[in-house]
Amino acid sequence: MKRPNYLEQIKKRIDTTEPGTVFIPSDFFDIAEAVKVNIYLNRLTENGELNRIKRGVFAKPRYSNLLNTNVPPRSDDMAKAIARNYGWTVVPCGDTALNMLGLSTQVPTVWLYVSDGPYKTYEADGITLKFKHTDNKNEITAVSYQTALVIQALKALGKENITDKEIRKLSKILSQSEKQKMLAESQRITEWVYGYIKKICVEG
């Protein structure tokens, strides 16, 4: 019987993804056991077919024709991969949440996430990722990612600084089904945030 070629199977999976896709070893545990997966990922890194972002986190190279060089993966993809690697739930917060929802055009100097994991800061490919622990599980683990992102954006703006402009913009980018889900999920969150969510869901 022919022995399975695990390396080729891992390469095939990587080849089907977009440049800049971020991987962790457990993404391939259905192909081979952990020890073998790590050996193969290290081999692919040595061959230049993967870039090591940090220990246990790898990325498919992404080439920029404009810059004529390889560029780092997207910051959010790196943050999600790190969280996945450690089993954390993370949601963008602060300026990061505002940027991702189009409420701010300012690119964060530090990509900030609220997390049910520990306080951690990582430097990866010139990008700073910061994870802040929260005990308020109702706002990150008890709701969907989209709802959690809107909650964090509203908190970043602040109760006194949210205008009709932000309400309209958030309402416009959310589908009717997303609004219904967000309204149902967010009843146990901070009262003033829930008040704005009701406005977003009624708008439009």
Give the pLDDT band of residue 65 (cuts 50, 70, 90). confident
Give the pLDDT band of residue 59 (cuts 50, 70, 90). very high
Q: By the 8 A CB rule, do 199 and 154 touch?
A: no
| Sequence-ordered list of residues with C-beta below 8 angstroms from that of 188, at least 6 positions apart, any chain | 138, 142
Q: Quick one: pLDDT at residue 71?
A: 84
Element (H or E) spanning 58, and its range?
strand 57-59
Q: Quick one: pLDDT at residue 132?
A: 96
Q: Quick one: pLDDT at residue 1?
A: 54
Mean pLDDT for the stretch of residues 10-36: 95
Which among 126, 118, 110 is positioned nearest to 90, based on CA atoms? 118
For the chain, which domains are there?
6-71 (1.10.10), 85-202 (no CATH)
Strands 120-124 and 110-115, sheet pairing: unpaired
Mean pLDDT of the chain: 92
Q: Quick one: pLDDT at residue 2?
A: 63
Angle at 130 between CA 125 and CA 134, to 5 degrees: 155
Q: Is 66 left (phi over 0), alpha (psi -120 to 50) or beta?
A: alpha
pLDDT in tens, 169-181: 999 999 999 999 9
Which among 75, 71, 4 is positioned nearest to 33, based on CA atoms? 4
Q: By the 8 A CB rule, do 168 and 182 touch?
A: no
Mean pLDDT for the stretch of residues 38-42: 96
Strands 110-115 and 127-133, sheet pairing: parallel
pLDDT in tens, 112-166: 999 999 999 998 878 899 999 998 888 898 899 999 999 999 999 999 999 999 9
How much of the chain, in percent, has pLDDT values that exceed 90?
A: 79
> Which residue would you say has higher pLDDT here, 70 or 7?
7
Mean pLDDT for the stretch of residues 173-198: 92
Distance CA 116, CA 133 (A): 5
In degrees to the nearest 10, what's the CA dihedral of 199, 190, 120, 24?
-60
Backbone phi, psi, residue 19, to 5° = -55, 140
